[in-house]
Chains A and B, each alone.
Chain A
Amino acid sequence: DQQVKQNSPSLSVQEGRISILNCDYTNSMFDYFLWYKKYPAEGPTFLISISSIKDKNEDGRFTVFLNKSAKHLSLHIVPSQPGDSAVYFCAATFRGGNKLVFGAGTILRVKS
């Protein structure tokens, strides 16, 4: 029973265009959400996060949107660059929680 779901295994985008990665969750207790990026042969690295008290958080080219009623969040990358090609993991946790619950990941390919 996956509490965090990334239903798109892969996404291909042209350089300069917008990349939108989606994530759905089922546990209403989750109140903090994170995105991690992973390159081959490396560990995941933190990218951006959002608290449930917000609906948007922006950091440079990266913006995360949270829709609590739909239990859905998305990561927007604008403009996409070839160096953004990686696996992106959505993760969630809750206050007092002791772990991050990860989705299965989405492989993003940005074509030049």
Chain B
Amino acid sequence: EAQVTQNPRYLITVTGKKLTVTCSQNMNHEYMSWYRQDPGLGLRQIYYSMNVEVTDKGDVPEGYKVSRKEKRNFPLILESPSPNQTSLYFCASSLTGLRLTNTGELFFGEGSRLTVL
């Protein structure tokens, strides 16, 4: 089954304790991205990757890091989490970039709810 898998789905942590949210897709997609969803703000892009070893900042990259060493994986790293990073995080992928598929659609994971105390 084609899917984007995120782990963990739920996490409560404390300020300053490094954590990684993993993301893996089995569709051989080149493009991957991380979004965070906050009430009243919708989904905002954190980082994206056009292909292996190619990553770039989105709209809200502060406090986050990413890496793309393999095509299927795109982990989100919070080196020193703070309470303002409490949010619902989504990883998404697309075949060849947002405008090159026939619909431009993104495939989303089920989300990771992170609470930083």
Q: Answer yes or no: do A and B interact.
A: yes
Q: Roughly how many angstroms separate A43 CA and B90 CA in the complex, as a whole number? A: 7
In the complex, per-residue mask of A93-106: 1 if CB is within 8 Å of any chain B CB, else 0: 10111111011110
Contact of A42 among B43, B105, B111 (CB under 8 A): B111
Interface of A: prevailing SS: loop
Contact (Cβ within 8 A) A95 B99: yes
**For A46, what are the chain B residues with a Cβ–Cβ distance below 8 Å?**
103, 105-107
Judge whether A43 and B42 touch: CB under 8 Å: no
Whether the Cβ atoms of B98 and A100 lie closer than 8 Å is yes
Contact of A45 among B44, B98, B108 (CB under 8 A): B108
We find that the number of chain B residues with CB closer than 8 angstroms to chain A is 28
Chain A: number of interface residues, binned into ranges: 20 to 34
B contact set with A: CB distance below 8 Å: 4, 33, 35, 40-45, 48, 50, 56, 58-59, 90, 92, 97-99, 103-111
- Shortest 3 CB-CB distances between A and B: which pairs? A43-B108, A46-B105, A102-B42
Residues of A bordering B, CB below 8 Å: 2, 4, 6, 32, 34, 36, 41-46, 49, 89, 93, 95-100, 102-105
